[in-house]
A = this chain, B = another copy of it.
Amino acid sequence: MSRWKPDARGRLEQAALELYRERGFDQATVTEIAERAGLTERTFFRYFADKREVLFWGQSHLLELYVNTIANAPASASPIEMVAAALEAAVPIFEERHELAQQRQAVIDAHRGLQERELLKRNALAAAMANALRQRGVSDTIARLAAEIGVIAFTTAYARWVSAPSEQDLSRLIRESLDQIKAITAGA
């Protein structure tokens, strides 16, 4: 038997989600989370920068997927098509975890501070995609705007997908959002 139980990070993530659901984010202390995971408060803060981050750490590899997809998109694609391809590529990751996504989102929706963090993560995704677009030769402003538009389309679609009682096709919802954005701007 090894010295420590494996997957400390995963145990902390699970304990945190449980406690945030049971008593709400503010009522759950870091000490409690750590205890439930069989660790100490200090160790919690070695894995996660703060009490909120524990709900978002898993997103870090999404960013990589988005960036790689844009980097490998066909040269013929327009900026918004590259972004759409990236969003599409990540769909399976979400569809495998619909229930977890619902639980997690309910916790976030109940707390301003968590919504803040979610927006920051979204912003980071947009910035990373913009950067990837720039490396494909897209001008700075167009890259930023295309990435932001993509994030909006995804966010809108994701919100509907998460809150839907029966599971819908996330890809289709994303495409619908992009089409609607196109219609809105064209109509001006």
How many chain A residues touch the partner (CB < 8 A)?
31
Residues of B contacting A71 in the complex (Cβ-Cβ under 8 angstroms): none
Find residues 96-119 in chain A having any chain B CB closer than 8 Å to their own CB.
112, 115-117, 119
Q: Which of B119, B145, B188 contacts A152 (CB 8 A)?
A: B145
What distance in Å separates the Cβ of A144 from its nearest Cβ neighbour in chain B? Answer: 6
How many copies make up the complex? 2
- Asked if A78 and B188 make an inter-chain contact with CB atoms under 8 angstroms apart, the answer reads yes
Find residues 106-139 in chain A having any chain B CB closer than 8 Å to their own CB.
112, 115-117, 119-120, 123
- Asked if B142 and A79 make an inter-chain contact with CB atoms under 8 angstroms apart, the answer reads no
0 or 1 for each of A152-188: is its CB under 8 Å from B? (1 = yes): 1000100000000000000000000110111011111
Tell me the A residues contacting B by CB distance below 8 Å: 78-81, 84, 112, 115-117, 119-120, 123, 141-142, 144-146, 148-149, 152, 156, 177-178, 180-182, 184-188
Additional A-B contact list (7), CB under 8 Å, known A142-B180, A145-B152, A148-B152: A78-B188, A79-B184, A79-B187, A119-B123, A145-B184, A181-B185, A186-B186
